[in-house]
Amino acid sequence: MSHAASFRDPAGSVSITEDQVLRTVYPDGFANLRMWLESPGVQRFVGEGRAVATKQIQANPTVLEHPRIPFISYPWEWPAAMLHAAGMLTLDLAEAVIEEGLRLKDATPLNVLFRGPAPVFIDVLSLQERGPRDPIWWAAAQFARTFLIPLLLYRRTGAPVHEIFLFHRDGLDPADAAKRLPALRRWLPPDLTLVTLPARAAKLESAELYRQREARDAGEAQFIFSRRIRAFRRQMEMLAPEPRVSVWSEYENQCPSYTPAQREARRSFVAKKLEELRPERVLDIGANAGEFSLLAAKAGARVVAIDSDPEVVSAVWRAVSAANADVLPLVVDFARPTPPAGWMGREHAGFLDRAAGHFDCVLMLALIHHLLVSERIPLDQILEAAAGLTTRWLVIEYVGPQDPMFRRLARGREELHEWQTRAVFEECAQAHFEIADSVETAEFRALYFLRRKA
């Protein structure tokens, strides 16, 4: 069974099966494909793993095969640090093909996926020839809308970039962005050149704006083009997201439910179990600082780590990038997972559709009390949802209503949750799982290793 993953590009379309990514190339895309396959700059990126590999498997019609990126993600699931990394990859590739007389015909985050923490360029039909005297990068405005402006708004207002893409798939126009910037900042660089001036220029709509402009010779055209790419690079470097502290940044270390010895015993127990189980694909829900994601990756698993806090996810991305760990961190609220997006909701699958049955182990540590109390999700539904995501194992932490963090969340409503004892938890769990092992981690907490029933 396959599903369409792309239909907007007149040069080709993509379909994805369980173990293949197939791209059909239309006649309009033959030249673009040839440029991609023959470009030394592109092939260097392919060799480095920074661009997707390509193999032709059929001639008429032309069909290509690409290796599957383990887990598809979208810009509306990336924190600012990951959007920035995708933008820098796009500029690197644009710069790599300048001397070959080529340019990227589009510049959108949707041309990039992440393999673990590393961005990979996937659109093999996005190269085009640049005329010898043509100095213009026609994708420049798109790059500004989808990379620079979201990062600028994040810097100025703290607006999470993933929320922008949830409602603005193609980024923000300068006129829309101008309304969101602090009034004084609009007249200072880089806000002035990225937002204010383009917004005002858009009001001067005329045919003259679209007139083809040529340089005096090929050398001048290449100089102007290269200078524009370098200017974007400087702006991206200026807008590089810096680490920020959020309310959840130090949660694991400051949680009053554990003593340091209990925290280390909990960590060691999970690490031991992961070494024993050796799962291949792990989903860490509520990953927080990514401690257990890194343990799973160390045990040989390919990990997707989700958390609702974009600052925490940015911190995890930096940590796993530095450790070269196979962990993909995403901004996903498990209580409100990413919905389907695009035309008729069929263009981009929702998170649960992508995750269902993909993982052989799911981690849910220090999480269920937040779902029970803050989100008011019934315990049986939490366990049913977990069963839909794992094919084998669930590592879940029971948190009793007497736990200090549970009581802090309940805030005087403790009597509503008094019935949620370990006995009730075990009874609910056994509707979908067998209890393989358990250990008490603190006075009112316990870790369970559950095996999914066939």
Q: Provide the β-strand partners of residue 51.
A: 121
The conformation of residue 144, written as its DSSP 8-state character, comes to: I
How many whole angstroms separate alpha carbon 299 and alpha carbon 388? 23
Q: State the pLDDT at residue 205.
A: 67
Q: What is the mean pLDDT of the chain?
A: 92
pTM above 0.75, yes or no: yes
Q: For position 252, what pLDDT does the model report?
A: 61
Tokens of 19: 């173990």
pLDDT in tens, 306-352: 999 999 999 999 999 999 999 999 999 999 999 999 888 888 999 99
Q: What percent of the chain has pLDDT over 70?
A: 95
pLDDT band at 1 (very low <50, low <70, confident <90, very high): very low
Kindly report the three-state secondary structure assignment for every residue of the chain.
CCEEEECCCCCEEEEECCCCEEEEECHHHHHHHHHHHHCHHHHHHHHCCCECCCEEEECCCEEEEECCCCCCCCHHHCCHHHHHHHHHHHHHHHHHCHHHCEEECCCCHHHEEEECCEEEECCCCCEEECCCCCCCCCCHHHHHHHHHHHHHHHHHHCCCHHHHHHHCCCCCCHHHHHHHCCCHHHHCCCHHHHHHHHHHHHHHCCHHHHCCCCCCCHHHHHHHHHHHHHHHHHHHHHCCCCCCCCCCCCHHHHCCCCCHHHHHHHHHHHHHHHHHHCCCEEEEECCCCCHHHHHHHHCCCEEEEEECCHHHHHHHHHHHHHHCCCEEEEECECCECCCCECHHHCCECCHHHHHCCCEEEEEECCCHHHHHHHCCCCHHHHHHHHHHHEEEEEEEEEECCCCHHHHHHHCCCHHHCCCCCHHHHHHHHCCCEEEEEEEEEECCEEEEEEEECC
- State residue 311's pLDDT score: 95
Model confidence at 253, pLDDT cuts 50, 70, 90, reads low
Query: Model confidence over 406-429: pLDDT tens digits?
Result: 888 888 777 777 888 999 999 999
